[in-house]
Structure formats: structure tokens, C-alpha cells
Amino acid sequence: MKYKLLESILPLVEQFEEENMNGNYRNDAEGFKSWVVNKRSALIVEPEWEGKEKGRSPESVISTLIVHMNRFAKSYSKAAIWGSAFSTQEEFIYLITLKSFGEMTKMQLIKRNIHEKSVGMAIINRLLKQGWIGQDDSEKDKRSKVIQLTSEGLQALDQQMEKIRHATQLVSGDLTHNEKLVLINLLNKLSDFHQSIYDRNISPNKLLDQITISSNI
């Protein structure tokens, strides 16, 4: 048998183990593949961006682009519900969440959509008033209410789904299929990082003081 391929991979595995002493990657095949992908990404020519020559940082660009993407997405969502009974994109997002994941408590739904309690409760109350969701006492905790999508809510959602799907497709623009997969991986990594911070429920006046980023991330 020939082992030339294996011989060429072994040094990479050794390099992976040396560089992964801090545990940035899982110590398995999936972690190794992620490391290889990131190594390959490191070879990409650094892009240009507005303000770079004046010292504008990559972090500033990323933050601005994410904010802008959110605004673009909201404009498409607004168009998707134009003329319907929906008041905001959050209303149909809550319904889609219930359709996808089934019944859950109010706080589970609010946290899944990264909202403050007051904002989430206002959305839920509007949906209850519309009759698009129903609520029952939780069997696990009588102090909590479990909410579920009603047939009326499903009907309201189905009536707008074609436009909602169109709006969703517009958000990903002209990216190729492979570019979309790369972006999903990057956004998942970024989302996992921020979710861990969000779950700690740190008050705004202490948030920036308590959260630091290791230089090897």
C-alpha cells in the first residue's frame, strides 16, 4: 500500500495539535477540518475598505457592515408584510419560531429571538390579541405560560410566506452556494461567541468591563 497522502497529512496534524494547545478547536476530525479551513482563509489577500488608510480597524468595518445588513434585511421584511395584518417583522419571526420548534414558554421564545423581556412581551401580547398564538399553564412550572401557534396564526403566516421567502433570498444577495456555506460557518462561530455572553445576562453598566477577548481568538 502507498502512504504518500498520509505522510503529507501527518505534519499538518502535528502542527494542528501544537497550535491547538489552548483549545480553540475541538480535538477531533471536525476541529482539524475547521483549523485547515481557517488556515486556508488566512492565505486570502487582505481586502480594502473605506478608511483603512486612516487606521480604521477590521473590527470597525465588521461592526458597521453587520448593522447595515440588519437594516437592509429589515427593509426587505417591511416590504414582505406590506398590506398584511402583521405590524412588524418580529411578529412573523415569532410565529416562524413556534412553527419550527413547537410550543415553548414566553421567556424561551423571547430569549431565542435575543429580545429584552419588555420588548418580547409586547410582541407576544400583540400576537395573542390577533389570535395567532394561544397560551396554557406550563405542566413543569405553573408560574409560566406555554405558548403555541394557532391555526389562525399558521394561516396568517402561510399567506405571507412567499413574500417572506423572497425577502430572505434577497438578504443573501448574489453569493454563490459555497460562499453562503462559508458565511454560515463564520456567522455561527460569531453567534456562538455572543450567545455565551448574552446567556450571562450581564447588566449594561458592567458588560464591557466584564467581557474581554483573548488575543489568540
- H, E, C per residue of 137-198: ECCCCCCCEEEEECHHHHHHHHHHHHHHHHHHHHHCCCCCHHHHHHHHHHHHHHHHHHHHHH
13 Ramachandran zone, left/alpha/beta (phi>0; psi -120 to 50): alpha
Report the half-sphere exposure of 212 (CA within 13 A, side-chain side). 5
- Write down the pLDDT at residue 217: 40
What is the value of pTM for the model shown?
0.72
Q: What is the pLDDT along the chain (217 residues), one digit of tens a residue?
A: 566 777 777 888 888 888 888 888 888 888 888 888 777 766 566 788 999 899 999 999 999 999 999 999 999 999 999 999 999 999 999 999 999 999 999 999 999 999 999 999 999 999 999 999 999 988 877 778 899 999 999 999 999 999 999 999 999 999 999 899 989 999 999 999 999 999 998 999 999 998 877 544 4
- Write down the pLDDT at residue 41: 63
Estimate to the nearest angstrom the gap between the alpha carbon of 111 and the chain centroid: 12
Cell representation of residue 151: 391555526
Residue 213, class by beta-carbon neighbours within 10 Å (0-12 exposed, 13-18 middle, 19+ buried)?
exposed
Rounded Cα distance between 144 and 149, Å, is 17
- Write down the pLDDT at residue 21: 83
**Stretch (H or E) spanning 63:** helix 58-80
**How does strand 145-149 pair with strand 133-137?**
antiparallel
